[in-house]
């Protein structure tokens, strides 16, 4: 595999023709996340106790120990699959990811993030025409004619993609501004062939630089609860877990940046922060 040249990566605002590729990246990056979250919930003590109670009741009705164990677990998994918001991949947001993908490309399409590796190497990245997938033109036409309400467009935030030679390698989602001086990373995805190459770090640091120049003093990231890789990634970038300290400021921030919660109130995300 050819090593990725980070100084040749262009980080630009998502456009109409990028939507299908970004959706494919999200699907690839979210693979297994929902199942890990469900397993995390199923193994919590209170959840195990409730399953045991239902199994004991069913044991008297179905006269089968195996069915009495399997039926409550099966029904709970179906319930979680239906009710668990798809936004667990869009970190810390109750809106489904297509609200971002479907609206965030509107306006400011020529906006780009600065690539710090270009200053080191002295090279200028070349951005060629984006490659289109077969059959995507009709979908793009439908997307361009879709009516987006001003409220949805305002709440969509921004999506920046990492483009190298016309190929989208990764993307980063930024929440719309809800509090002055505070930025929020909602989603970070890199293609499977470009992981551990520094691409995720490049996207996060470039977005941090943009927000710092815009006057932000703190950035948040909501990481899926069982994701050890995501947690280690943000810790390496200088992020800290919100709530570890007991100061009044931390308690106030916890009220504003609460983790996403699921069945029985169990947290689905961990909140990390970094002061810029």
Mean pLDDT of 12-32: 79
Q: Is the pLDDT at 92 greater than 50, yes or no? A: no
Res. 102 pLDDT band, cuts 50 70 90: low
**Could you read off the pLDDT of 40-67 as tens digits, one per residue?**
888 888 899 999 999 998 888 888 888 8
pTM of this prediction?
A: 0.75
Q: Is the pLDDT at 129 greater than 60, yes or no? A: no
Mean pLDDT of 88-115: 57
Q: Is the pLDDT at 236 greater than 50, yes or no? A: yes
- Give residue 125's pLDDT: 58
Architecture of domain 10-124+149-275: 3-Layer(aba) Sandwich (3.40)
- Give residue 162's pLDDT: 87
Higher per-residue confidence, 31 vs 134: 31
- Give residue 90's pLDDT: 47
- Give residue 32's pLDDT: 72
Q: Is the pLDDT at 134 greater than 60, yes or no? A: no
Beta sheet of 269-275, edge-to-edge order: 112-113, 10-13, 158-164, 167-174, 182-190, 218-224, 269-275, 240-241
* Cα distances (angstroms) measured from residue 86 to each of 30, 80, 95, 157: 10, 11, 8, 17
Res. 181 pLDDT band, cuts 50 70 90: confident
- Give residue 89's pLDDT: 45
Q: Is the pLDDT at 182 greater than 70, yes or no? A: yes
- Give residue 97's pLDDT: 52
Q: Is the pLDDT at 131 greater than 60, yes or no? A: no
Report the residue count for the chain: 276
Percentage of the chain surpassing pLDDT 90?
9
Neighbouring CB atoms inside 10 A of 107's CB total 11
Q: Is the pLDDT at 91 greater than 50, yes or no? A: no
**Whole-number Å distance between alpha carbons of 78 and 81:** 5
Give the pairing of strands 158-164 and 112-113: unpaired
**Whole-number Å distance between alpha carbons of 236 and 273:** 12
């Amino acid at each position: 595999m050819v090593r990725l040249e980070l100084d040749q990566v262009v980080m630009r605002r998502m456009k109409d023709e990028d939507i299908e590729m970004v959706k494919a990246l999200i699907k690839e990056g979210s693979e297994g996340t929902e199942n890990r979250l469900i397993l995390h919930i199923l193994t919590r003590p209170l959840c195990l106790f409730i399953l045991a109670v239902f199994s004991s009741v069913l044991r008297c009705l179905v006269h089968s120990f195996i069915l009495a164990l399997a039926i409550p677990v099966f029904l709970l998994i179906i319930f979680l699959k239906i009710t668990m918001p798809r936004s667990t991949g869009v970190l810390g947001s109750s809106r489904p990811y297509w609200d971002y993908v479907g609206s965030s490309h509107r306006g400011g399409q020529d906006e780009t993030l600065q690539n710090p590796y270009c200053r080191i190497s002295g090279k200028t990245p070349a951005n060629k025409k984006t490659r289109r997938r077969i059959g995507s033109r009709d979908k793009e036409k439908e997307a361009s004619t879709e009516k987006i309400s001003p409220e949805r467009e305002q709440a969509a935030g921004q999506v920046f993609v990492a483009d190298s030679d016309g190929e989208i390698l990764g993307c980063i989602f930024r929440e719309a501004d809800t509090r002055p001086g505070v930025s929020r990373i909602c989603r970070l995805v890199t293609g499977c062939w470009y992981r551990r190459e520094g691409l995720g770090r490049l996207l996060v640091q470039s977005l941090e630089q943009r927000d710092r120049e815009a006057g932000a003093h703190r950035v948040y990231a909501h990481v899926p609860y069982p994701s050890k890789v995501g947690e280690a990634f943000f810790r390496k970038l200088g992020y800290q877990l919100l709530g570890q300290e007991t100061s009044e400021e931390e308690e106030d921030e916890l009220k504003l940046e609460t983790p996403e919660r699921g069945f029985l109130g169990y947290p689905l995300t961990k909140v990390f922060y970094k002061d810029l």
